[in-house]
Structure formats: structure tokens, C-alpha cells
Amino acid sequence: MQQILTAKRVAVVGLGLSGLATVRFLLSKGVKPVLMDTRKQPAGLEQINPDKVDGIYLGELDANRLAKMDLIIVSPGLSIKHPALRFARLQGAEILGDVELFARFNTKPVVAITGSNGKSTVTMLVEAMLQQSGIKAVAAGNIGLPVLEAIAQPTTEVFVLELSSFQLETTTNLHTLASANLNLSADHLDRYTDMAEYAAAKAQIFRHCQLAVYNADDRLTQPAASQAVLAISLNAAANGYGIVQLQQQPWLMVAGEPLLPVNEMSLFGEHNQFNALVAAALALAAGAKQQAIAETLRTFKGLAHRCELVAEVAGVRWINDSKATNVGATLAALAGLRGSVTGKIILIAGGDAKGADVSEMSAALQQDVQQLITLGQDGPAIAALKEDSKAVKTLQQAVRLAAELAQPGDMVLLSPACASLDMFKSYADRGEQFAKAVKELK
């Protein structure tokens, strides 16, 4: 593969985290790529020695230059529908992503996870379950560590990859021990024509897998191929996975055996019970031990900005779910948390809905949310779904208002159902500002 690669004219388009990792990987293989980015000053470009590459072109993509390439490795942040990329493809250029390049060089077992919501939690759970079993596992991909940096770690025994639809749409040769599609909800419809196109991109994760794990309650996650499949639902344990009543309390059933009582899990909420079952199935496929899986579920700390308890102040729990950047994520949080709240839920929501239909939240807002506080670009559309909602201009105002409205036993939940970039640097910045504002209440 390396000899074939060095004989090709290669371009890397998009110089973000994964793009720069791709450049470094290509340089290590003796390839001298052309670099392009639509931004005038991409951060981190100074890490690359310009003498080592075959030119750096910033700003509007040069379609004619791209058309001269044999191979174009595109950042997941750039749509492959971009006119310059479509033109290059028509001229014979092959367009792929860093995950496809990883797949062509990788020789180690892979477990892969996608879905609109919960994929980071499942990815980190699988990594932890394998490590607890004595297997050297590394989580990479959409979760932060670029796959082409992960592949350079020689001691890795299993790669656990979180993959977005953007990464999957440029991936055709990834072979996995097991792959999971957790759920599909309206997201990225500013980039995809409709849900069918979005679902088709996600379905790529099952293209070459030995075990396809999917959500029995979400038909859009079901694989079309005829490989071994495992459907998981909280409501049924016929296939050995689910929630069962034992000793007058709910237990996780994994591979036909009771694993542990639900109340011993460190994560809370029904959505995390589902995540735990999927992670267990994937980890078992990669060689994990039942005892190690149970221990992981007892001790796993959870991920920042994902239904994270920030503080309990005067009997009120403040939950940071800033990673809920689409409607489905917020609905999952509400469904998962409602049973653990004795008082009312005060929801803070709003931001950039990315073209999604926020009216899908209407029923949950009526049933599960007692007070709604909105902000951001699409805050008014969400506010219109519930009477007596309150609009604010800043997250700090939202926190102060929620504190005035909250009583002991209540939960204040930041679960925006929207992206953050209309007001914040990232969902993490949004979550950190929320946590800071909450701590200033004390």
C-alpha cells in the first residue's frame, strides 16, 4: 500500500485536527502531499514544515488543481458535495477520509460505534471494559484522537472507533469485529438532503463487520446486510440482553446472564442502561470478560458535558448535558432522567438547530418539563412549543432565572437540543460556562 501511495498525487483538504494528523501520517510514509483549506489561517498549520509538502493553498478551493490529483483525503468537516470536490471526482480523483486511509493500513482488530447520540459514552465504556480485561485498547476517531495518530501506537491490541456520519460517508473498507448503530434522530440536516441520506451514511458502519449491533426500537439503525446481528432493547431480553427483574430489582442481562443490579451502575438514566448493554456486547465480541464489564459499569465516571452532575445546591441538582446538540439527544436525556427526579425539571434549551424540526420535542416538553428556559438562534422556535416558557439572552441569565424558580427536589437540566456555535466556541465551552455560572450561585 505504501508503494502505491507514494506513486500517487495526493491532496489533503481540511487542516483541522484529523487533517494535520493525516499530513503527518503521509509524510511518515514518504508521501509529499498538497495541502488545502478553505480558511485563510487554519490553526496548527505552523506544525507542518512547508518544505516537506508539495504546496499549501488557503482560501477558496482550486477545482482545477484538485482535478489533477489521484487521491484527495477530505476532512469530515467539509462536505464531499462541495463543487470543487465533485469536479475532481468527475476527472477521476478518488475521494476518501482519514478513516478509510486508516482502514487500508490497519492490521489490528477494530470495534466501531456510531449513532446520533451516546456514541462517545459507548466508545469510552468499551475501551474501559477491554482495558479492565487486560486488553490494550485505544479509543480514537470522532472522540478526539485522530485514527492516523492512534495507528502509530504499536502496543495497541484493539482499536475502538467512534465514527460520525461525515467520517463514514468516505469510508468503504473498514473491517470490524463488531459495529454498533445506537440511534438516529434528526441531525446535520443542513448537510444531508433528508433522513434517508443521513441514515445511509450511518449504515456504512455495517459494511464489513462480523457482528452488527443495533437498536431494536429504532428501525433506521437496522443493518441491511445478512451478517450476524444483535438487536438490543431495554424492554426485551429474548436475545440475552435487556433489563430483567431479579431479587425485586432491575438487573442488566448480558449474554444471557445477570450482570449487575441497575442501581450499582455509576451512570444514571435509562439511556445509559441501553448504552451499557451495547458496550457490553461490543466488548465481549472483542474478548472482554464479564467480571471486568461489571466492574467498569460500577466505576465508570462518565464523560464531561453528557448528563454530568455539576452540583447540588440547596437540594437542586444541576445537570450539564451540553453535548446534546440535537433534538434526539435532549429527548433521550429527558426520558432517562425523569424517573430520578422527585420535583420538577427545569430545562434550558436553544442554539443552532441545524435545520432540524424542533417540534419533535413538543410532547416531551409537555409531559416531562415543568419549566422551559430558552436562548440562542432557535430559542424562539423551541419556546413556542410550551406555554409560559421564558426567553433569556445569555446562559448566565438562564442559570440565575432557573435558580429563582427551582425548589428542593428539582433538577435544572442544560440540554440544548442545538449546536452551540451561534453563541459559544463549542459545546464544551457552553458546558463550562454553565458549570461556572452554577458554581457562582453558591
What are 190-194's contacts with CB under 8 Å, separation 24+? 190/354, 190/355, 191/79, 191/166, 192/165
| Cα–Cα distance, 346 to 404 (Å, whole number) | 11
For the sheet with 228-232, list strands across it. 137-141, 158-162, 110-114, 175-181, 208-215, 228-232
The 3-state DSSP class for residue 60 equals: coil
The 3-state DSSP class for residue 148 equals: helix
| Cα–Cα distance, 218 to 215 (Å, whole number) | 5
Which phi and psi (to 5°) does residue 260 adopt? Answer: -165, 155
**Active-site amino acid positions:** 119, 142, 188
Cα separations in angstroms, 356 against 170, 190, 419: 23, 8, 11
Specify the pairing of strand 411-414 against strand 316-320. parallel
Work out the number of other CB atoms within 10 angstroms of the CB of residue 90: 9
